[in-house]
């Protein structure tokens, strides 16, 4: 079974990185939905061409609700307000969601936790000022994602073993 993945913020830096990772992963995952904010000049563009390759048939859209039946898991890299909207769509459909969005206020993080209580296999990677509190309350074994300061390099990039794609095997 191929796990059908959707990415919000697909045209952004992290969204493109994830699309590349999915395309080159050699796993049972495929990008089937690419979401970008409404009003983006890239809406309608093909993700394959956006990544510098051949057309993939996955075009950028702004309406997750319209394409939610085409995916098995959503990976979100947007802003807290958009993440909350995407979480509501995922919760209404029982669609698992992984988010790499940061910058949640405590109130937004509470809303995210409440909105997604019904989602099967809830997997979160989000940052708040009270990180360990939310991580432990959700029972998330992965904890809360955050770049650690490295004494020689400033902010260390995320490790590959923390990539959201590692969860594809659990879904398949």
| Of the candidates 66, 63, 7, 6, the residue with the CA atom closest to the CA atom of residue 37 | 63
Smallest CA-to-CA distance from 38 within 71, 66, 72 is with: 66
Total domain count for the chain?
Answer: 1
98-135 tens-digit pLDDT = 888 888 888 988 888 888 887 765 555 444 434 444 44
Pick the closest to residue 124 from 108, 113, 133, 132 (CA basis).
Answer: 113
Per the structure, the complete domain to which residue 7 belongs is given by 3-171
Q: Give 65-105 pLDDT, tens digit per residue.
A: 999 999 999 999 899 999 999 999 999 998 988 888 888 88
Q: Which has more confidence, 4 or 143?
A: 4
Q: What integer pLDDT is reported at residue 92 of this predicted model?
A: 92
SS3 assignment, position 81:
helix
CATH number at residue 58: 3.40.50.720
């Amino acid at each position: 079974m191929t796990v059908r993945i959707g990415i919000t913020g697909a045209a952004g830096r992290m969204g493109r990185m994830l699309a590349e990772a999915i395309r080159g992963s050699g796993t049972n995952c495929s990008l089937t939905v690419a979401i970008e904010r409404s009003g983006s000049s890239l809406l309608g563009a093909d993700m394959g061409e956006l990544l510098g390759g051949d057309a993939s048939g996955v075009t950028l859209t702004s309406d997750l609700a319209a394409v939610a039946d085409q995916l098995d898991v959503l990976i979100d890299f947007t802003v807290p307000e958009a993440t909350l909207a995407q979480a509501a769509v995922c919760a209404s459909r029982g669609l698992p969601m992984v988010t790499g969005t940061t910058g949640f206020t405590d109130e937004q993080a509470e809303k995210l936790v409440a909105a997604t209580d019904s989602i099967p296999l809830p997997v979160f990677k989000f940052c708040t000022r009270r990180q360990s509190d939310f991580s432990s309350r959700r029972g998330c074994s992965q904890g809360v994602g955050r770049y650690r300061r490295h004494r020689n390099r400033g902010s260390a990039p995320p490790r590959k073993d923390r990539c959201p794609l590692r969860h594809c095997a659990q879904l398949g």
